[in-house]
């Protein structure tokens, strides 16, 4: 496993994190095994959200922690808030109450990281700053970040808080790579040149914000994973060839593609399978060559300008 330093955290974070969106249907015993496997693989960062399985994911994780209280000091726990049924809510009251509820479900006194899950069209950055101040002073949250936000939204929030926003969790993989496309196709007229996010990748790099990548193996909500998907034959053929070259699975090569980017991203692995988690972590054992990175990039119906 490889690690990186994040301002405000007392431990370096693993470049692969365990995503906990899908653990809600696991038994506590199975979850214990998965967490132990994550530790053995060098993972020390666990990503939650208050909405995952309607709160059950945090609740089950908390039950596992109660059985193994020694785990808490070995791990960093991140959760997210702001999505409610039918609308988004980043009001001061909701942020604080959401953290209180997450801490209760998780059975811990603090979150290492709190992310604002989605941009709220009605968000008041002054309120958000006040919420952060309260949570930090009460020792409930150590560090803060955002998710799915543009540079302007990040800058607006950062203007009203003294605490640095250290993460921006964004959808990114070899299929969903618009924040790379717009740079590669800069000053061109092809569709990939369209800037969907205001240059968020460069903004994060310029401001020491680590990009956390969600859905690292997912093409879309409708299509599911792109691994072995019939619509992505060229990509899978390339993944297989490179898998033989580097001695890794397709999913590991796809993860290595993300980690190869010099932005120093963190990949959120959302699997509940110990075997799949181990395979994904093998991505940290290699560094794709520049040529191989571009082979994967262009295998998804992209032609370089």
**What are the residue numbers of the active site?**
52
Question: Cβ–Cβ contacts within 10 Å for residue 73, how many?
Answer: 8
Contact 216, 252 (CB under 8 A): no
Virtual torsion, Cα 271, 84, 97, 137, nearest 10 deg: 70
The full length of the chain comes to 305
CA distances, 98 to each of 57, 141, 255 (Å) = 14, 12, 31
62 with 106: CB under 8 angstroms? yes
Q: Which long-range contacts (C-beta less than 8 Å, at least 24 apart) are formed by 67-74?
A: 67/28, 67/32, 68/32, 68/35, 71/35, 71/39, 72/108, 74/39, 74/44
d(CA 34, CA 31): 5
Element spanning 171, H or E: strand 165-171
Q: CA–CA separation, 37 vs 40, rounded Å?
A: 5
Give dist(CA 293, CA 174) in Å, integer: 9
- Using DSSP, state whether 267 is helix, strand or coil: strand
What residues pair up with 115 in beta bridges, in sequence order?
80, 145
């Amino acid at each position: 496993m490889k690690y990186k330093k994040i301002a405000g955290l007392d431990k370096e974070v693993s470049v692969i994190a365990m995503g906990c969106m899908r653990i809600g249907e696991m038994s506590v015993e199975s979850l214990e095994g998965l967490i132990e496997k994550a530790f053995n693989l060098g993972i020390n960062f666990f990503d939650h959200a208050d909405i995952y399985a309607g709160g059950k994911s945090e609740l089950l994780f908390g039950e596992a922690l109660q059985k193994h209280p020694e785990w808490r000091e070995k791990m960093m726990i991140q959760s997210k808030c702001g999505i409610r049924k039918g609308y988004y809510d980043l009001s001061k009251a909701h942020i604080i109450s959401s953290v209180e509820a997450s801490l209760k479900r998780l059975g811990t006194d603090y979150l290492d990281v709190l992310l604002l899950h989605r941009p709220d069209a009605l968000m008041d950055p002054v309120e958000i700053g006040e919420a952060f101040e309260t949570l930090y002073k009460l020792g409930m949250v150590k560090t803060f970040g955002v998710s799915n936000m543009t540079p302007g939204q990040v800058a607006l929030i950062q203007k009203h808080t003294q605490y640095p926003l250290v993460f921006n969790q964004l959808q990114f993989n070899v299929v969903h790579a618009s924040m790379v496309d717009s740079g590669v196709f800069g000053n061109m007229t092809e569709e990939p040149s369209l800037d969907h996010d205001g240059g968020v990748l460069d903004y994060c790099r310029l401001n020491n914000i680590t990009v956390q990548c969600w859905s690292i193996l997912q093409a879309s909500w409708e299509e599911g994973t792109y691994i072995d998907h019939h619509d992505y034959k060229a990509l899978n053929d390339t993944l297989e060839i490179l898998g033989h070259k580097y001695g890794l699975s397709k999913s590991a090569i796809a993860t290595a593609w993300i980690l190869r980017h010099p932005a120093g991203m963190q990949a959120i692995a959302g699997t509940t399978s110990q075997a799949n988690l181990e395979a994904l972590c093998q991505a940290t054992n290699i560094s794709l060559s520049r040529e191989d990175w571009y082979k994967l990039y262009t295998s998804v119906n992209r032609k370089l300008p």
